Amino acid sequence: MKPLCGAALLLLVFCAAATAQNSCVCEKNKRVTNCRLENGQCRCQAIGSGVTVDCTTLTSKCLLMKAEVMGSKSGRREKPKDAFEDTDGLYDPECENSGAFKAKQCNGTTCWCVNTAGVRRTDKHDADLKCNQLVRTMWIIIEMKHAERNAPLNAESLKKYFTDTITSRYQLDGRYITGVLYENPYITIDLKQNSSNKLLGEVDIADVAYYFEKDVKGQSIFHNSAGLNVSIDNEPVKLEKTVVYYVDEIAPEFSMKSLTPGVIAVIVVVVIAIVAAVVVLVLTRRRKGKYEKAEMKEMNEMHRGLNA
């Protein structure tokens, strides 16, 4: 029996060594499982969908969101002590095998249409909703605000830092970075990429913006990365707020009902201001007309007096 046990142990060690040799780490995405080397490249399965992802490039936003939702449900992600969940914009998406969002997304019996960034672009309807196409997001605006400083940042150094970071860390071709604007304390980055100038195999600006936003918030998707430590001219810069705006090739289809109370309030104030201005203008003209009539009446009486 001893020779058999020794052979079994040797086989077990050999299998373990072979498995270790074929395993790999997905540096671009830590929300994966079952990683293995294929032709020298690391490929893994995205958590939640099982779709195979290429670890040499960014993973699509749709697969990342699905993995994040599944991670939250299963408790796989370690959360800080005082953390609470921000579910605004986060849902369990339906993805194509390519990793792209399906044009129609649903949560139970409630459905809506999304763009290529997975952002809702219509009102919410029932399951009969038709989304004829996945509308492309051609322009993404990333707006950040840095903490209060004694002196403003150097605009050229800031532009170079973010341009270099986006091209190297997120692999986006520099021609898609159309602007880095600094208006103390606000930093605005413009990413533009339409379907006609995006080449096969290039990363999508929606994926870049998602990775970037997670990095800034300290929720990096990269393996063994705590996030993006912004440093301009060797001086650390703390970012307090990041907002991402999306512009589609076709305008979104929102009704008045879907507008937030804040937007509705602004519209109401503007309408009231316009109505008030019209009322003042009408009253002013009426008073002016009455004054001119009274003046003409006095002139006529004076003429009569002189003629008499």
Looking at residue 15, its pLDDT comes to 46
Mean pLDDT of 60-83: 66
Q: Which has more confidence, 77 or 10?
A: 10
Mean pLDDT for all residues in the chain: 82
Helix axes of 61-74 and 205-216: crossing angle, nearest 10 degrees: 40
Looking at residue 81, its pLDDT comes to 37
Percent of the chain exceeding pLDDT 90 equals: 59
Mean pLDDT of 279-296: 63
Which residues does residue 146 pair with via DSSP β-bridges, in sequence order? 239
pLDDT digits (tens, 9 = 90+) for 135-172: 999 999 999 999 999 999 999 999 999 999 999 999 99
Q: Is the Cβ–Cβ distance between 68 and 90 less than 8 Å? A: yes
Looking at residue 226, its pLDDT comes to 84
- How many C-beta neighbours within 10 Å does residue 126 have? 9
The DSSP code sequence of the chain is: -HHHHHHHHHHHHHHHHHHHHH----TT-SSEEEEEEETTEEEEEETTT--EEETTSPPPHHHHHHHHHHHHHHT-S---TT-----TT-----B-TTSPBPSEEEETTEEEEBBTT--B-B--B-TT----S-B-EEEEEEEEEEPP-SSPPPHHHHHHHHHHHHHHHS---GGGEEEEEEETTEEEEEEE--TTTPPTTPPPHHHHHHHHHHHHTT---STT------EETTEE--EEEEEEEEEESS--B--GGGS-HHHHHHHHHHHHHHHHHHHHHHHHHHHHHHHHHHHHHHHHHHHHHHH-
The pTM score is 0.72
- Residue 199 tokens read as 């080449």
- Indicate the range of 174-183, 231-240, 277-286 predicted with least confidence: 277-286
For residue 31, pLDDT over 60 is answered with yes
For residue 92, pLDDT over 60 is answered with yes
For residue 90, pLDDT over 60 is answered with yes
Looking at residue 210, its pLDDT comes to 96
At 208, is the pLDDT very low, low, confident or very high (cuts 50, 70, 90)? very high
